[in-house]
Structures are given as structure tokens and as C-alpha cells.
Amino acid sequence: MQSTSSFEEPDSDEDHSRSAKRRKKIDFGTYVEGLSFQEMKAEVLRMNKENMTLRMQNVQLRRDIKEARKDSLQVLEAQPKPHLTEDSVERLEKICASLRKRNQEYEDRLKREIEEHSIREELLKKLLDQKDLEIDELQKLKQYIGKNQKLRKLNEQHRKQSVYLVKKRKEEIKVDPSKKRKVRSKNYHNTKGFQAKLNIVAEGIEILTGMAGVKGYRNFLLSLMKQSGKIPALNFTPKFSVAQAISVQTTLGMPKNMLVRLKSYFRRILGVDPFPSTAAMDELAKTYMKEEWMDVRCEKNGEDEIEITELRKLAEVLAQKLTDLSKAKKLIFDRGKTTKLVAVIGNVRDANSCHNVIHLGSFTGDDTAENIIKYLPSIIKEINNLKLIQYEEDGVMKTREVEQFLAGDYKFLCSMHGHRGANAKEFCIFCYEQYSKKTKLQKYKRLNTWKSRTLSKYDEDQKSGKNSIKINSQRVFKLVTLDRVIPPSLHIIMGLSHKYIFDVLLNWALKCDLQKQINCKTTSQAKSALRKLQKDLSSKKRIIDDWSNDAETLKKMDSAMKNIIDKSISPSGDKAMGNKKKAMSLKCHDCNKLFHEHCIGVWTPELRIDHEDPDEYLCCFACRKVSKEQFRATIQSQLQVIEDYTTGLKKKLEALEKEEKELNDNLNTQVGKHRQQLENVWKKYGADRSTWTQTFSGNQTYRLLKKEAIDEMFDIFLNNPKVDQNSLEYLRVAATSLGVIQRLCTTETYDQHDLARLQESKEEFFKNVTLGSPDETLTVKLHLLLNHVVPFANQHSVWGRLSEQSVESYHAYYNKLLRRFESVRDPIIRLRRIFRFIMIHSKVKDSNELEELLDD
């Protein structure tokens, strides 16, 4: 019980003073800075000792509390509650309260001491580490200075020794010139240094000049080159091989007459022609493009003449191409106006190159299924029968199964399946989701309940015309299943970037540069409103002119009233009418006489429209027995009506002209400060919008979707009060996500990481576009990205390799050839030359002839 009562006594003044002293707040960093290294160590040891004392006191305190509680329980057990007096219970409660309070004070004090100690210890540790580093650096610096002094001494000794040896060598040569060192000829291949090689060349020229003489040096050198080319060990030839010459000619795009002229220039100037004979080149080129491989013809379609090229023997051409690619080690197996049908081999490194394309056929006209079936029936039949292919690989015949994929823009894909196109109700060729141009992103619900289309369903719908499929249509390529129809990556990326990124930036620029805000979301809407306003203006002006002419005529009629009441149209005409143009001649239904429209009372445009109908009843003034006074009064009242009406129209016209001027001024400021800054960023990254389509090309879109370009474009509108900053940040993230998707459209095979990035970027793009532009509408390209791109990539582990990019670049390549051979008037000859050039160029690109030449 003594231990219990001891806790009732309060702490001594000495204990309070010590704790207060320890709790005193000091600037410990300032305190430590004045200490030496040894003093800091002593301070650390002192604090550690003090911390240990505090911990021991805390342990003792907890033991005392435990014993007190134990004594309390003993008291309660020894003296049951009914026999305890009220004083004893009160005393026990006070003891317990005192113990709890004291325990809490000790625990708070211990926490404060531990915190202060940890802060001191951390500061001291930093200072100790810093001083250790300074000591190490000082020691290293001393070592470096010592080594530097030693090296300087050695260098000075070597210099003095070199000077002595050179001086001694010069003295020896002066005494005995025969001791001068002779320079030996070195091997050019093993010699290093430009000047040393020039010295060897100069020595060689001196030797050759001594052998051939100055006058015969040129002919001697030409003979030396020719004879050197006949020695295989020298690995030297002054001529191209026939295959190399064809590669050079085709790559440079030289016609035959230019090649002949170039050969003559070489012979005249250099004395040697590096090209083989043109006959040998023509003979080899015939094996590249056999005549039986191409069919060129013209067919009449009404008044139009359709120029058609069509490939024959597709299997043979493919086998030859695969053999060439295999020899060149380029074959891998790792998973406008003119319509061109082409084939692309996906198992090559440069799958998206236009030079990897096999020209299957072309015709002048739209790329509809009906036209392709009509003009290219033979090649379509061969494609639909192509299931296996045989080719030579390392001297062994290989047989592989052909997997056919279908690529092209969305319009072409729809046409090849008999689909009505992107504007149809069931707009997708892969599923039955229904589409509305008014569907906004914020209200768009992505459902997984839409059923996928199947080939059997296509066949049923083609018979009935249901589900947006043309009735009695047919699929052109029978061996292409729906899971091998490639979502058009190039058109998807370009379409999404223009609608949801670039057009929004342009609208922001217009909004920031406008002098007065207009109720138009886009520039095209504003221009449409301006055209409508200008149309209304011209209509109002025309109406005012008509009413003014009527008023002028009535004034003349008032002065010529005596000739009107009883006078019909005379052969000589009525001079009082003036020069009124396009005046109508109307007949009175009572007297059947002809009158000018004004002479019979048709004085306004409204009355003129009413009486254009010949059955409308009309009576002249004479038949109505109108007096002169009545006639004149009628004219005056009608003049007043016309004047009031034209005055009101002129006021409306002034208001419309003012509105038209404001709108026109606003639109003329669209190349303002912000628009100029935006265009400067585009120019910086080599992007220039097409004048006709107002869009960027694929390569330009690729450059603008880089992270640095995106930041520069969006930073133009940063902190601009006219642009919603939340929308700006959302669309910045959306553009970045679209850039990631675009950079995944490569020829590389996807791994699981790439597929996960594609899925994540797709969702990130849709989420941020919806938040940034909730009122934008859903497009077909966005539907394809959200629902069909990832399943295709998951199944085939590629997307960019098998795409329409090579086909799109092939358009420009083919059009370039059309311009090159435009001077050939005969269409059959022109198409044959184009076809022949394409096949030879493809052969050159498949082989390694030119690459080996450049490597050498």
C-alpha cells in the first residue's frame, strides 16, 4: 500500500525545472554550427545517454503503475465492496486518477524528448556526412595535385630529352648525309590518316606516269581499269551489272532516251561507259514483266471510254515476288479518279510501302463493287480461288496457305460487302449498332448487346435488303472473313484528330479573335449564316426595286391618264410606260382586250403573282366603268401603299446590312492573333492544311500528335477567359492518348504490353473527349476505334502492318506515273508502259541489287 500512496505526492520542483529545461525550444541548427567536430561527437554521445535515461525512467514508471494497479485490486479483493467505506472508495478513485494523469504526463514528456532527439540526431548526421565528404574531397585533391606535379616533371624531362636527340640527329646528318632516313612505301589499305594516303597516291601517280608517259597516261589508265575489272581477286569493276543498271534506271526514273544520252556523255567525257548495253537491259527487263501477265484494254460505257488494266496469272506473279523477297532475306513470317485494286504482302518488313504493292488492276471510275466486278472479272476470280501458293526458298519449293485480308477506306469496305455506307441506319459493317448524326458523346451509351454480323447473315440480308444491306448485292471477295477485314487505321486516326482536336482548336482561335461573339459554334456554321443573310439581302433589294418600279410607273400613269381609260395595247406601244422591262400582258375577261399589267390595275408584285394564273378573273377599268376621278384616287392611294411598304422594307434592309457587315467583319478576323499562333505551330512541325479539303495528310497528323506539338498548340489558349480551361486540359489528354494510339500503328507485332497500352489509350481518349466536348456527335470512326480495333489487334497481334496506308500512298505513286507518261497519246500504249514500269520497279525493290551496290 505504500507504493500506491507514494504516487499521490506531486512532482518536485527540481523535476519540473529539468523537464522544462529539456522542453525549451532552441534553434538547434544554429547551435550546432558553432561546434567543432569533436564537440559535435560529444554532443551526440550526451544526447544518446540522456535518451537512454529517459527510456529507463519510463520503464520504471510503467512498473510502478502496474504495481499500483495490482495493489488496488488486492485491496478490492480483501475488502469487498459492500464493506468499503465511502472514504476508501473515494481515496482509491483519486489514486487511480493520479496514476493515470502521471502516466500520461510521462508519456507526453517522453514523446517530446524522442522527437527533439531524432531532429538533433538527423541534423548532426547530415553535418557529419558533409564534413566527411569535405575531408575526402580534400584528400583526393591533394593526391591529384601530387600526381599532376609528378607528370609535369616527367613531361619536362621527356621534352628536354627529345630536343637533345633531335639536335644530336641534325648534327649527325650534317656530318654524314648518308645517315638520312629513307621513306618506305606503305600499304594504302592499312594506312591511317588523310595526308598519309595522299602521299601514297602521289607516289603511285609518279610511278604510273613514268611507265605510261604524260601523253599516254589517260589511255593507260582506262586500259588499267578495264583489265583490273577482269581480275576477280581485285574486287573491282568499272561497270554496273545488268540488274544493277536496271535498278539505277528505275530508281532514278530515267526513260530509255535519257539513259542512252547519259551513256554517250560517259563515253565522251570519261572514256568509259559504266552501263551495260540497252539491249541486255531490255532482255532482262522482259523477264521482270512478261507480256502475258497484263491485260490492257478500253471499253465503252455510254459516251465514256473506260481505260482498264488487269493482272493475269496472279499465282505466278505472287510466287515470283515471294521468291525474290526470300532471296533478299526480306520475307518474314511472325504474325481519285482512277480506281486501283492492289495486293499487299503482309509478311515483309516494309509492309506499308507503296513499293510492296502488286498492281492487280485499275479502271477509270468509282470504286464500287459493281464496277470492280464489271471491269476486273478475271482477277477477282483468281483472288477468290487463291488458297495456296508455291514459291522457291533457298532452292527448295515451299507451299504456304494464303490468308486474305481486306484493307481500304470505310467507303470501299462497305461497297465490297454490299453495305449502304456510313450514313445508313445500321452503319457498321461489323455489327448491328444503329447510328444517328444527332447522337452526342455525353448521351452515348456503349452497349455490348449489339450482335456481330456474320457472313451467313450478310447473305440473308443481301436477298431481303434488310439491316442496311443493298438488295441483290454480293460480297466481292469470297475468301475474306469479317475477322480479316481491317479497320482503316489511317482514316480513323486522321478523322478523329480533325473532328475532336484540330477543328476544336480552330474554333477556339476564331472565338478568341472575334470582335463580337456570334451564335455559331464553328466557322462553317458562321459562313453558312453569312451566305443565308446575303441571300436575304439580295431578295429584299429585288423586292424594293420591283415596288419602286411600280411606283414610278403609276406616277407616269397619273400624268397620262387620258390615254389609259379607253386605250388597249396598240402596235406602236405606249410611250407613257417608259422603259419598263418584263411587263406582263394581261387579257380582260369581259372585253378580251390585251392590256399592260399596270393599265389593268396590277400594280404590285403580290397582284402580279396572283394574276399569273390565266384562269384568275380580271377586268379592265373601262369594263368596270371607272371614272377619271376614281382612277386618279385609286392611283394616289396605291402610291401611298407602295411608299409605306418600301419604307418598311428599307428599314429591314438597313438592319440586315448592319448585321451582315458585323458578321463579315468577324469572319474576316479569323486570321487573328490566336489563329496566326496556331498556324505558326503547324508550320513549325511541317503541317500545311490542304487548300481543297482543309485537312492534314497522314504524315502531318503524325507530327502534330507528338507530345511537344500538342503542348504548344494547347498552350496558346492557356488561361484565356474565352476558353473553358477544364475542356482544354481534357482535350490535351485526349490528344496525347490519340498520339499513343497512332504510334502503335506500326509494322511491328504487338505483345501483351502493346495491347494493354492500346486498350488503355482508347478508353482514355474517349473519356477525355466526352468530358472536353460533350456536345460533339458520335462518328463512325470513333465507333470503330471503341468497339472493333482492339478485338482485331488481340486476334492478329497487328493493326498498322495490315492497313490501307500502303494503298493510300500508292495513289500518289500511280498519279505520278500518269503525269510522266501523259505525253503518250494512245491509251493502250500509255497503260502498258505504266504497268510495265510498276512491275519492274516492284522487282527492283524486292531484290538487293541496288542495296548491295550502295553498300559496296
Residue for grid cell 544520252? 261
In this structure, how many other beta carbons lie within 10 angstroms of the beta carbon of residue 134?
10
Q: Residues 153-203: pLDDT tens digits?
A: 887 887 787 777 777 777 777 777 665 554 455 677 777 888 888 888 888
**pTM tops 0.95, yes or no:** no
Q: Kindly tell me the burial class for residue 567, based on how many C-beta atoms sit within 10 Å of its own C-beta (0-12, 13-18, 19 or more).
A: middle
Whether the CB-CB separation of 489 and 745 falls below 8 Å is answered with yes
Question: What value does the mean pLDDT of the chain take?
Answer: 75
Q: Under DSSP, is residue 806 helix (H, G, I), strand (E, B) or coil?
A: helix
Residue for grid cell 532475306? 329
Residue 257 has φ and ψ, to the nearest 5°, of -65, -35
Tell me, what's the pLDDT at 71?
66
Distance (Å, whole) CA 794 – CA 581: 75
Q: Residues 358-414: pLDDT tens digits?
A: 778 788 777 788 888 888 888 888 888 888 888 787 778 888 888 888 888 888 899
Distance (Å, whole) CA 489 – CA 485: 12
Residue for grid cell 607516289? 203
Distance (Å, whole) CA 600 – CA 393: 97
In this structure, how many other beta carbons lie within 10 angstroms of the beta carbon of residue 784?
23
Checking if the pLDDT of 505 tops 50, the result is: yes
DSSP 440: B
Q: Residues 826-850: pLDDT tens digits?
A: 888 888 888 888 877 777 776 765 5
Residue 318 has φ and ψ, to the nearest 5°, of -65, -40
The number of residues making up the chain comes to 856
Q: What percent of the chain has pLDDT over 70?
A: 70
Whether the CB-CB separation of 576 and 556 falls below 8 Å is answered with yes
Secondary structure of 651-689 as H, E, C letters? HHHHHHHHHHHHHHHHHHCCCCHHHHHHHHHHHHCCCCC
Q: Under DSSP, is residue 778 helix (H, G, I), strand (E, B) or coil?
A: coil
Mean pLDDT over 676-681 rounds to 88
143 contact partners, CB below 8 Å, separation of at least 6: none
Q: Under DSSP, is residue 517 helix (H, G, I), strand (E, B) or coil?
A: coil
Distance (Å, whole) CA 575 – CA 554: 14
Maximum mean pLDDT: which of 290-299, 330-339, 678-687 = 678-687
Maximum mean pLDDT: which of 220-234, 461-475, 525-539 = 461-475
Whether the CB-CB separation of 546 and 526 falls below 8 Å is answered with no
Nearest one of 502, 227, 399, 407 to 809, comparing CA atoms? 407
Q: At what angle do helices 13-22 and 86-175 cross, to 10 degrees?
A: 30
